[in-house]
Amino acid sequence: MSYSPIDKPTDFFNSVIYTGNGSSPRSITGVGFQPDFNWTKSRSASGSHVLANSVSGATKQLVTNNSSAEATNGVYGYLSAFGSDGWTMTTGSSDFSRMNTNSTTYVSWNWKAGTSFTNDASSTGIGTIDSTGSVSDTTGFSIVSYTGTGSNGTVKHGLSTTPSMMIVKQRNSTENWTVYHSGIGNPAQYMELNSSGAVLTNSAVWNSTNPTSSVFSVGTNARTNNNTSNYIAYCFNDVKGYSKFGSYTGIGNGNNASNADGTFVYTGFKPAFFLVKSTGSFNWLMYDDKRDPLNPNTSTIIPDDSGAEYFPTSGRDVDFLSNGFKMRANYNGNNASGVSFIYMAFAESPFVGSNFVPNNAE
């Protein structure tokens, strides 16, 4: 029985829930570390997802529910600084509702990278496009900034192993979010984080080339490599007992909504966070253990939509188990019969820690 090198996943990924109070400035704490990537969404009211990172700078934010360019200092009522245990928000010039409206509830997902890197491709011989970023090989996560050239090229991602999932967004212009996932199985294909659409094919996005342990490839498409445009890339790979990026096939629970014996997916840990997308046309779905601490986990937030949290009494049910997750309903968004799904998951606790002792099952 193998063990995880990470005994306490909350040192590197953690979700925080809070209620807005309308004050400015306001600091949110309880993350447990200084975030390098912060993703915040209102729960009880509609509002765009707000994403910020330490590489672009805390005051520069993007939203996943549309293709808008990056905004600075104010449009989203903004995150103004990262702190040792969370972040600070300051009232923006036009709209504070997306992060701190009085009495509105929010959820924030936070990741730590932590080690800065700079790559001059012509000097190091790694890649063909210069990049800078922040990386953690321990947790298999990097944030990468680069400027497009418009020609086929490669970008250093900072990790020492091959990314399983990458999320790329052009920062200075309107352009769709572009997702690479190893579970799709074809480097000419991709998905859009801001869309419920099915898998798309375009060889010019990833240059029909899978990433390697040192670089990822970009073609001539503006999604990933428009000349002189600025990009941000979030790169992830599997870490035993901490993170998992894979695919599974739904069984539809026998097309019987009352049958709770759905697809089980082994991850090697109890999930704290789960993002899933049908490879067909259906919304992305986000689950976590802070909004839904007990099974079944039914409360969903949709990255490609600005709507409030949806929490049906049944229908989207997922159980977070000590060693994976299990579908408990016949739902097209996560368990449609015969449909392929891709996912990303992060751990609450590993199935087996460095002490070789299994954690208790739910």
Which residue is listed with tokens 């739910």?
Answer: 362
Would you put residue 205 in left (φ > 0), alpha (ψ -120 to 50) or beta?
Answer: alpha
Both structure tokens of 81: 């600084």
Q: What is the pLDDT of residue 126?
A: 98
Q: What is the pLDDT of residue 3?
A: 64
Q: Which residues of the chain have pLDDT under 70?
A: 1-3, 73-77, 92-97, 253-259, 313-314, 351-362
Q: What is the pLDDT of residue 303?
A: 98
Angstrom distance (rounded) from CA 77 to CA 70: 13
**Dihedral (CA of 303, 309, 314, 320) sign:** positive
Alpha helix (H) ranges present in the chain?
A: 97-100, 121-124, 222-225
- If one counts every other C-beta atom within 10 angstroms of the C-beta of residue 211, the result is 24
Q: What is the pLDDT of residue 315?
A: 74
Q: What is the DSSP string of 170-205?
A: ESSS----EEEETTT--TTEEB-TT-----EE-TTT
Q: What is the pLDDT of residue 261?
A: 78
Q: What is the pLDDT of residue 92?
A: 58
Sheet containing 86-89: order of strands = 26-29, 86-89, 79-83
- Which residues are paired to 170 by β-bridges? 231
Would you put residue 338 in left (φ > 0), alpha (ψ -120 to 50) or beta?
Answer: left
Sheet containing 324-327: order of strands = 264-266, 324-327, 318-321
Q: What is the pLDDT of residue 330?
A: 82
Beta-carbon contacts of residue 125 (< 8 Å; ≥ 6 apart): none
Q: What is the pLDDT of residue 253?
A: 65
At position 15, the amino acid (one-letter code) is S
Q: What is the pLDDT of residue 155?
A: 98
Both structure tokens of 178: 């572009």
Coil/strand/helix, residue 319: strand
Angstrom distance (rounded) from CA 352 to CA 241: 7
Q: What is the pLDDT of residue 256?
A: 47
At position 277, the amino acid (one-letter code) is K
Angstrom distance (rounded) from CA 185 to CA 250: 17
Q: Among 241, 9, 12, which Cα is nearest to 134's?
A: 12
Coil/strand/helix, residue 95: coil
At position 53, the amino acid (one-letter code) is N
Q: What is the pLDDT of residue 1?
A: 43
